[in-house]
Amino acid sequence: MKRDEFASLPVSIALGLIYDMARAKLEPMPRPAVPMAPKFDGRLPRKGGFFWLSEMLLQDLEWWHSKKQESAASGGEWAEKDGKLAATLAKWIEWRKLFPSERWRGKRGDDWATAEAPSREPQLRQWDPKGSPKGNGAKAPQGSSRRGPERPPEDEGDGYGF
């Protein structure tokens, strides 16, 4: 079989062929642990609101993790809070390394939510006057106090919010 023929195979068949060829080396190896998606979303406070960690790209998560670790190590006023956020960011980084474009599904507070796809510029969510996020952090439409239109039936996805 030539390279282009192999490359045109469905992934499951190609992986089966590779496994069969490497069976002697692979069978004695333990299965590597695959990190599960974080159950709870986290918030990164920003001026004017916050970003959901689930909607951030890997490189942005890593950058903020570095900054929060530095702040925690410096022992300043926000060291404890930044240390906790750095630990949360580390969990997101571990998962996002394996699933760089996956849409996360889990809990935001007490509600189940499906995040937007990771983005270089995630939506800045607004805080309510008490300092907690509004519902799941959705931004209310400008000039309207009513809810937006319901999703059309053809856009219901697979039943899991995707």
Query: The tokens of 39 are what?
Result: 């159950």
Q: Closest Cα to residue 39, out of 75, 99, 91, 81?
A: 91
HSE, side-chain direction, 13 A CA sphere, residue 104: 26
Relative to beta strand 43-46, strand 49-52 is antiparallel
Residues 6+ apart with CB under 8 A from 61: 53, 89, 92, 93, 96
Q: Between these two residues, 129 and 74, which has the higher pLDDT value?
A: 74
Q: Report whether pLDDT(71) > 70.
A: yes
Strand pairing partners for 45?
50
Tell me whether residue 102 is exposed, middle or buried, using C-beta atoms within 10 angstroms of its C-beta: 0 to 12, 13 to 18, 19 or more: middle
Q: Closest Cα to residue 106, out of 51, 57, 36, 50?
A: 36
How is the chain split into domains, by residue range? Answer: 1-32, 43-126
Q: Between these two residues, 15 and 128, which has the higher pLDDT value?
A: 15
Average per-residue pLDDT in the chain?
Answer: 82
Dist. CA 9–CA 37, nearest whole Å? 30
For residues 43-62, average pLDDT: 94
Q: Model confidence at 33, in pLDDT bands (50, 70, 90)?
A: confident
**Cβ–Cβ < 8 Å for 103, 55:** no
Q: Model confidence at 129, in pLDDT bands (50, 70, 90)?
A: low
The pTM score is: 0.66
Q: Between these two residues, 132 and 121, which has the higher pLDDT value?
A: 121
Q: Report whether pLDDT(49) > 60.
A: yes
**Cβ–Cβ < 8 Å for 79, 86:** no
Q: Report whether pLDDT(78) > 70.
A: yes
